[in-house]
A and B are shown apart, each in its own frame.
Chain A
Amino acid sequence: MWLLNSSIGRKLIMSLSGIFLILFLLFHASMNVAAVFSEEAYNAICGFLGANWYAVAGTLVLAAGFMIHIVYAIWLTLQNRRARGRKRYAVNVRPKGVEWASQNMFVLGLIVLCFLGLHFTQFWYKMMFAELTGHHEVELGGAIVSAHDGAAFIRYYFSNIIVVALYLVWYAALWFHLTHGFWSALQTVGWNNTVWLKRWQVIANIFATLICAAFAFVTVFFYLESIL
C-alpha cells in the first residue's frame, strides 16, 4: 500500500491527519470563546458533547486522528534520523530562510502532547469520562459540580496562575507547530507553487496566531475575572 510504504504516502497521511487536527482546533477555539460571552451557551455545548453516542464517536475519531499523527510522527522521525546517518557535522548553522519550527516539529509535538495529557486529566477525565463511568457530579476543588458545568471547570482551573502559565506555554508550542505545519501540510499534498508558498506562509502565521490568541484570550480572561 503506497500510503504506508512510500515516503510521499507517509507524508500525505501526516499532512491529512495534521489538517484534521487543525480543523478540530478551530472548532475547539470557537467553542471556548463562547464561554467568555455566555457561560450558559458554553455549558449547553458541554452538555451536548457529554456522554452521547455522537460525542463519544467524535472523541474516538479525534483520538484516532491524534494516534495516526503521533505514530507517523515517530515513524518518520526515526526514519529520517537513520537517513541522516550516525556521523554528524562538526559545524551546524541554520541557514537564513529556514524556520526554527520546521526543524523541531517533533519536539514541539511532544510538548503539545505532554500538555494535552495535563488537559485531559483536568477536563476530559472529570467531564466525559466521569459521565461515561456513571458519575454525573464530580468533586472540583472541594465543591461538587455537574460534569456538564464546563464553565465551572474553566473558572476553577484558570484562577490558578501556575495552571494559566502552563497553558500559555502550551499555546506557544502549538503556535510554532502550526506556523510551519499549516503550509507544510499544503506543500505535502502538492497544493503549492512559488507564488502560493509565500501566501500560504502568511496565512499560516495569521491562522496560528488567531487560534492561539483565541485560546489564550479565554484563559487570561477567566484568570483576570478570578482576581478582579
Chain B
Amino acid sequence: MDKNINITLKVWRQKGPKEKGAFETYKLNDVSQGSSFLEMLDVLNEQLIREGKEPVAFDHDCREGICGMCSLYINGHPHGPDSAVTTCQLHMRKFSDGATITVEPWRSAGFPVIRDLMVDRYAYDKIIQAGGFVSVNTGGVPDANAIPISKKDADLAMDAAACIGCGACAAACKNGSAMLFISAKVSQLALLPQGRTEASRRVKAMIAKMDELGFGNCTNTRSCEVECPKEVSISNIARLNREFIVAKLQD
C-alpha cells in the first residue's frame, strides 16, 4: 500500500556551466509514494520557492517516457533504481521512509552541465544530423505494405527505434561512450530496405561525428543496456561494428 514518506534529498546545485557546484541537502516530509519522482521534485521546488530559495533546475517535457529529456542520475543509476523506465516514469514507491536520495546530473564530457541537474545533450542531436536519417524525394507517398519486410527484421528495427536519445547510455558508461545510442539509430534504419541504400554512408558519418565530439571507445561493459530505459540491446552495437567495418573495407 502506498503511504506518505519522509525523505532526505542530496541534490547537485550548480549556478552555471563554468561555476563550481556542490551538493545541497533538503528534507521533504509527507511525500506520497503514489507520486512520480518528478512530481516529488516539483513539491521540493514549491517548498524552496516558499522559503525564498532558488528552485532546482531539471529537464523534463513529456513526463510519459517518450521525449528523453528527464536526465537524472538517481542513487547511482541513470533514471533511478527501477529498470526499463525513465525518471518521469519512476515512482516514489521505489523508495522507503527515511531514505536518502542522491540526485546528480549526467556526468560525461559529452554532456556538460548547464545548470543544477540540466545538461547539454545537443551532442546526440549533432550525431543524428550527421546521418541518422533517410533521404527521400517528396512526391507520391508509396503504400507502406508495398515493400515486404520479414517479421524478425521489423521487430529488431522496432526495438532499436524505441531509443529516445536520453543519453543514459553515455551517462552510465565508464568510458563515456555513446555507442548504444548510435547503434540503435544505425540499426533501426540498416535493418529496413528503405534505410539500407544509405547504410554505409550513414554509419561512417555518424561514427566520424561521434569521434569528433570526443565520446569514448566502447569496451563492452554492458552498463548502457542495463541502464537504458528502453532496454536497447548491445547486439545493436555488434551490428554497428559490423556495418562500420564492412563499410570501411569496401572503400
- Contacts from A to B (Cβ < 8 Å): 2, 5-12, 76, 79-80, 82-99, 102-103, 105, 180, 183-184, 187-194, 197
Contacts and interface: CB of A to CB of B under 8 A. Distances in A.
> Can you list the 7 inter-chain pairs with the closest CB atoms, starting with the nearest?
A190-B242, A83-B176, A83-B216, A85-B109, A192-B238, A80-B175, A93-B76
Contact of B238 (A85, A89, A94, A193): A193
A147 B203 CA distance: 54
B223 interface: yes
B31 interface: no
B211 interface: yes
B47 interface: no
Interface stretch (B37-45, B130-138, B227-235): B227-235
B104 A91 contact: yes
Given A91-B102, A91-B104, A102 B242 contact: no
Contacts of B222: 97-99, 102
B241 A187 contact: yes
20 contacts: A2-B248, A7-B207, A8-B244, A10-B217, A82-B216, A83-B177, A85-B107, A87-B107, A90-B10, A91-B102, A91-B104, A95-B223, A99-B222, A102-B222, A103-B223, A184-B220, A187-B238, A190-B239, A192-B235, A194-B235
Given A91-B75, A95-B77, 6 more contacts: A6-B211, A84-B108, A84-B109, A90-B102, A92-B76, A105-B219
A55 B247 CA distance: 38
Interface of B: 10, 23, 73, 75-77, 102, 104, 107-110, 113, 172-177, 207-208, 210-211, 214-223, 225-227, 233-235, 237-245, 248
Contacts, number: 143
A193 B235 contact: yes
A94 B76 CA distance: 9
Contacts of B220: 102, 180, 183-184, 187-188
Given A11-B218, A91-B102, A95-B223, A83 B207 contact: no
B18 to A, nearest CB: 13
Contact of A83 (B104, B208, B215, B245): B215
Contacts of A93: 75-77
Given A2-B248, A90-B23, A80 B211 contact: no
Chain B binding surface SS class: mixed
B221 A103 contact: yes
Given A8-B244, A92-B76, A191 B238 contact: yes
Contacts of B238: 187, 190-193, 197
A5 B211 contact: yes
Contacts of B177: 7, 80, 83
A163 to B, nearest CB: 32
B245 A84 contact: no
A95 B211 CA distance: 26
Contacts of A97: 222, 225-226
Contacts of B73: 89
Contact of A6 (B76, B207, B233): B207
Contacts of A88: 107
A193 to B, nearest CB: 5
Contacts of B176: 80, 82-85
Nearest to B251: A2
Contacts of B10: 90
Nearest to B222: A98
Given A102-B219, A187-B220, A7 B211 contact: yes
Nearest to B174: A103
B241 A83 contact: no
A83 B170 CA distance: 9
A89 B220 CA distance: 20
B207 to A, nearest CB: 6
Residue of B76, B237, B241 with highest tally of chain A CB at under 10 A: B241
B245 A8 contact: yes
A102 B175 CA distance: 11
A200 to B, nearest CB: 10
Contacts of B108: 83-85
Given A88-B107, A193-B235, A83 B214 contact: yes
